[in-house]
A = this chain, B = another copy of it.
Amino acid sequence: MTANEQTRVITRADVARLAGVSSAVVSYVINDGPRPVAAATAERVRQAIEVLGYRPNSSARALRRGVGDTIGLVLPDSSNPFFAELALEIQRLAAASGRAVLLASTTGNQRHENRVIEGLLSRQVEGLIVRSDAAHRDPFTTIRADVPAVLLDTMAPIPGRRSVGADLRAGADLLVEHLIAEHGLTRVGLIMGEDQSGLADPRELGWRDAQRRHGLPEGPIARGVFSRPGGYAAMQRMLATGKPPQAIFASSDVQAIGVLRALHEAGVRVPEDIALVSFDGTVEVEYSWPPLTAAQQPVAQIAREAFRMITDPGPDDVYRLIPTELVIRRSCGCAAEPTH
């Protein structure tokens, strides 16, 4: 093979010539349409593609551009549907702009999380979007990132960092306000996730804000891991005290699903005996029984903001909070859907 042959780019016309078809037919075979191609003809085109090692244009462009244009995404446990929905949105944005997403899950200790981030950086990502397992942790105190980085869900601004997330405090306040003002429930318990940051979780502050505004004493709190089993165990402990509240605010959907199971098992009816509201508003609580009233995370907006801070980075000291939406379903006592 001569040097000339080595560097020559194989075109669709070359494939068409070898297969004895028009260039348009090659395109129909590659793209599965828009027009049908006879099976035998399609097979001939595929063989020509194979023989020549042809790659369609979009890919040839990507090859010329090199291995850049990849975004690193670090998320906790993707079996949490909120993170799964977030990952999907970021992938969609990336794909729409010809980028790819290197996804890494943490679910480990900080040491493991650091290694994961270093691993992405060493692969020359264009930028990093990081949701730490401990929401408020700033991994970039020990890791030097030479590319734009965005932290998700930090509980407060971190100097010198870009951060974006839902307005957790206002969202929690809205939920508890709904229970108090619309349903007259004055004893609202909190099932809260555990965090090692030492900072008060904004969802806990929002829960407190609403109760204070109405001059109510604080309802009971039970804490557990941000997971289905965590919410399940926390609710069981709260029931075991013998003085259950009239309503529960669960700080995440996965915990709410665990709470719901503990209530079902104890024969407690939702919302008749205890009302339940949740934070995140993923598809899982839309399809739970009963469907849950929730503060819905602005997943698409969070993804868009984070993506923009990577691809068009402005100042590196930004703290952006996006409002949540109150989605009313049956679990709060509103009969938005038919009961029986």
Which residues of A line the B interface, CB within 8 A?
A: 29-33, 46, 49-50, 53-56, 58-59, 62-63, 67, 70, 77-79, 81, 84-85, 87-88, 91-92, 95, 98, 100-105, 109-111, 114-116, 118-124, 141-142, 144, 228, 232, 257-258, 260-261, 264-267, 283-284, 286-291, 337-338, 340
> Of B88, B109, B267, B288, which is within 8 A of A78 by CB?
B88
User: Which B residue sits closest to A270, measured CB to CB?
Assistant: B289
Q: Which residue of B lies closest to A59 (CB)?
A: B118
Q: Which of B53, B92, B141, B283 contacts A46 (CB 8 A)?
A: B141
Query: Which one, B33, B85, B98, contacts A79 given CB within 8 A?
Result: B85
Residues of B within 8 A of A81 (CB): 79, 81, 84
Residues of B within 8 A of A78 (CB): 78, 84, 87-88, 91
Q: How far is the CA of A232 from the CA of B81 in the complex (A)?
A: 19
Residues of B within 8 A of A59 (CB): 118-119, 121-122
- Asked, given contacts A32-B111, A78-B87, whether A118 binds B261 with beta carbons under 8 Å apart, the answer is no
Cross-chain contact A101 with B100 (CB below 8 angstroms): no
Q: How far is the CA of A91 from the CA of B228 in the complex (A)?
A: 22
Tell whether, in the assembled complex, residue B70 and residue A98 are in contact, meaning their CB atoms are under 8 Å apart.
no
Contact of A144 among B54, B100, B122 (CB under 8 A): B54
A77 CB contact (under 8 Å) in B88, B264, B265, B337: B88
With a cutoff of 8 Å between Cβ atoms, the chain B residues found around residue A228 in the complex are 283, 286-287
Chain B residue contacts of A284, Cβ below 8 A: 284
- Give the docked Cα–Cα distance between A124 and B69 (Å): 13
Are B289 and A260 touching (Cβ within 8 A)? yes
Report chain B residues within 8 Å CB of A264.
289-290
CB-CB < 8 A to A103: which residues of B? 87, 91, 101-103
Residue of B nearest to A261 (CB): B287
Q: What B residues does A120 contact at CB under 8 A?
A: 100
- Extra pairs beyond A54-B144, A58-B115, A264-B289 (20, CB < 8 Å): A31-B111, A32-B142, A33-B111, A49-B142, A55-B122, A59-B122, A62-B118, A62-B119, A67-B124, A70-B102, A79-B88, A84-B84, A87-B103, A95-B119, A98-B119, A100-B104, A100-B119, A258-B287, A261-B287, A265-B340
Smallest Cβ distance from A266 to chain B, in angstroms?
Answer: 8
Contacts of A54 in B (CB 8 A): 144
Name the one of B104, B261, B288 contacting A101, with C-beta atoms under 8 angstroms: B104
Query: Which chain B residues lie closer than 8 Å to A119 at the CB level?
Result: 58-59, 62, 95, 98, 100
The chain B residue sitting closest to A77, CB to CB, is: B88
Residues of B near A123 (CB, < 8 A) are 62, 67, 70, 100
